[in-house]
């Protein structure tokens, strides 16, 4: 969330990628930073350390949603 916030703060379009376990924390961070409308996409948890094949599968599942969030 903070990376997405910092990028958006620079005027660069951003979409935060947040795993499902950290989604509630993402809500809190977004609200506390005054960016509750920052676009986000939810990823399964965990993603890191699950292997290249799984990372590819997750990327394929969320790619269209990420692009859609940029269009909003």
| pLDDT tens, residue by residue, 6-22 | 999 999 999 999 999 99
Q: What is the mean pLDDT of the chain?
A: 95
Yes or no: say if 69 and 40 are a contact pair by the CB < 8 Å rule.
yes
Look at residue 72 in the predicted model and tell me its pLDDT.
82
Look at residue 1 in the predicted model and tell me its pLDDT.
85
CA separation for the pair 53, 56 (Å, rounded):
5
Both tokens assigned to 6 = 């910092």
- pLDDT of 53 strictly over 90: yes
């Amino acid at each position: 969330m903070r990376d997405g916030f910092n990028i958006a703060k620079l005027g660069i379009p951003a979409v935060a990628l947040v795993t499902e376990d950290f989604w509630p924390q993402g809500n809190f961070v977004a609200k506390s930073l005054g960016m509750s409308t920052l676009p986000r996409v939810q990823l399964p948890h965990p993603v890191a350390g699950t292997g290249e094949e799984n990372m590819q599968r997750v990327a394929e599942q969320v790619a269209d949603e990420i692009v859609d969030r940029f269009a909003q």
